[in-house]
Amino acid sequence: MRKKLLYIAVLAVAAGSMVSCNDTFDKEPLDSIIVNAEYWSNPANVQSQLNRFYEQFKGYGNGASTNGTFYFNALSDDQVGSNFKNWLYTNVAATNGNWNDPYTEIRRANYVIEGVGESSLTDAQKAEYLGVARLMRAYEYYLLVRAFGDVPLVDKVLSVNSSELYGPRTDRDEVMNFVLEDLNYAVANIPENSSKVNFNRAMANAIKSEICLYEGTYCKYRTQAENGKAPDAGRASTFLGEVVNACNYIMGKGYSLSANYGDIYNSLDLSGNSEIIFFKNYAASIMMHSLIDYTSSSTQMDGMSRDAFDAYLFTDGKPLATTSLDKSDAGVLDGDNISLEPLLAVRDKRLAAVIDHVLLYNGRPNQRKSDDMAMTASTGYGVAKFDNLSLPTSSRSVGNTNYTDAPLFWLAKTYLEFAEAKAELGSLTQADLNNTINKLQARAGLPNLSITPDADPANNMNVSNLLWEIRRTRRCELMFDGFRYWDLIRWHQLDKLDTTKYPNILLGANVSGDPAAASNSGLTLTGTYINAGKGMSRNFEAKHYFYPVPSGEIRVNPQLVQNPGW
Please report the DSSP string for 2-43 in residue order.
PPPPEE--S--B-SS-B--HHHHHHH-GGGGSEE-HHHHTSH
Q: How many CB atoms lie within 10 A of CB 146?
A: 21
Task: Tell me what the mean pLDDT of segment 106-119 comes to.
Answer: 95
Whether 490 contacts 217, CB under 8 Å: yes
Strands 507-510, 529-531: parallel, antiparallel or unpaired by DSSP?
antiparallel
Q: Output helix, strand, coil percentages for the chain, rounded to the nearest 5.
A: 45, 10, 50
Whether 30 contacts 7, CB under 8 Å: no
How many whole angstroms separate alpha carbon 255 and alpha carbon 410? 9
Model pLDDT, residue 33 = 53
Confidence of residue 164 (pLDDT cuts 50, 70, 90): confident
pLDDT single digits (tens) 21-32: 233 223 345 555
Task: Tell me what the mean pLDDT of segment 253-266 comes to.
Answer: 98
pLDDT single digits (tens) 209-245: 999 999 999 999 999 999 999 999 999 999 999 999 9
Q: Is the pLDDT of residue 281 over 70?
A: yes
Listed in sequence order, the residues at least 6 apart from 323 whose beta carbon sits closer than 8 Å to its beta carbon are 313, 314, 316
pLDDT single digits (tens) 477-498: 999 999 999 999 999 999 999 9
Q: Which helix (H) or strand (E) holds 561?
A: none
How many whole angstroms separate alpha carbon 321 and alpha carbon 455? 10
Using a cut of 0.85, tell me whether the model's pTM lies above it: yes
Q: Is the pLDDT of residue 2 over 70?
A: no
How many whole angstroms separate alpha carbon 499 and alpha carbon 77? 9
Model pLDDT, residue 74 = 86
| CATH for 1-63+80-162+539-566 (3.30.70.120, 3.40.50.1000, 1.25.40.890, 1.10.3720.10) | 1.25.40.890
How many whole angstroms separate alpha carbon 81 and alpha carbon 310? 18
Higher local confidence (pLDDT), 399 or 138: 138
Domain boundaries, the chain: 1-63+80-162+539-566, 191-280+405-492, 296-384+499-537
Q: What is the largest CA-CA distance in the chain?
A: 88
* Fold classified for 191-280+405-492: 1.25.40
Domains 1-63+80-162+539-566 and 191-280+405-492 share a fold: yes
SS3 call for 510: strand
Confidence of residue 72 (pLDDT cuts 50, 70, 90): very high
How many whole angstroms separate alpha carbon 172 and alpha carbon 160? 25
